[in-house]
């Protein structure tokens, strides 16, 4: 599974404005609703439900919030670089500035896990994250995410 399978050019936000975890998730749910055709409220509730199980702030300024929805036809992603880092209850207690949101159909099973693994593998690469943090242009972020995926895929 490639990042391009999860993200399209309109699914990258270069300067997401948020002052809290809740606001970031609400803003991402709004963007995801536009992309998926699903209800913004249903998306936010799925993300919030998952966050209540434990934080998706994985450390090093990265969060990978995710949820499952009954009416999705495939896995969708939204990538955001926050305008300013925020507290996300991350496991290392550091603020988050890179978020890769994933939404999957309820019955996605292994594909959902593959998508999470793919996003995680990408964002564990310090060089990749430095490049992502080095631009505030959506098109450049998208190009970095998809064009260099092969070199980050190891």
Tens of pLDDT, residue by residue over 89-110, are 999 999 999 999 999 999 887 8
Give pTM, 2 decimals: 0.92
Q: How does the average pLDDT of the chain come out, rounded?
A: 91
Decide if 112 is catalytic: no
- Set 21, 66, 81, 118: catalytic member: 66
Residues with Cβ within 8 Å of residue 65, at least 6 apart in sequence? 25, 28, 47, 50, 51, 56, 99, 101, 102
Average pLDDT over residues 36-44: 95
Say if residue 117's pLDDT is above 60: yes
Q: Tell me the pLDDT band of 148, cut-offs 50, 70 and 90.
A: low
At residue 110, the pLDDT reads: 87
Class of domain 3-148: alpha beta
């Amino acid at each position: 599974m490639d990042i391009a399978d999860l993200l399209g050019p309109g699914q990258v936000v270069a300067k997401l404005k948020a002052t809290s975890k809740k606001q970031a998730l609400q803003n991402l749910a709004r963007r995801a609703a536009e992309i998926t055709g699903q209800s913004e409220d249903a998306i936010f509730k799925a993300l919030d439900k998952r966050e209540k199980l434990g934080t998706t702030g994985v450390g090093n300024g990265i969060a990978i919030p995710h949820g499952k929805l009954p009416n999705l036809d495939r896995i969708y992603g939204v990538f955001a670089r926050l305008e300013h880092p925020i507290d996300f209850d991350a496991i290392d207690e550091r603020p988050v500035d890179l978020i890769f949101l994933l939404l999957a159909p309820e019955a996605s099973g292994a594909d959902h896990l593959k998508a999470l693994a793919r996003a995680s593998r990408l964002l564990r690469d310090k060089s990749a994250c430095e490049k992502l943090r080095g631009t505030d242009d959506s098109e450049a972020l998208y190009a970095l995410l998809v064009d260099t995926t092969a070199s980050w895929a190891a």
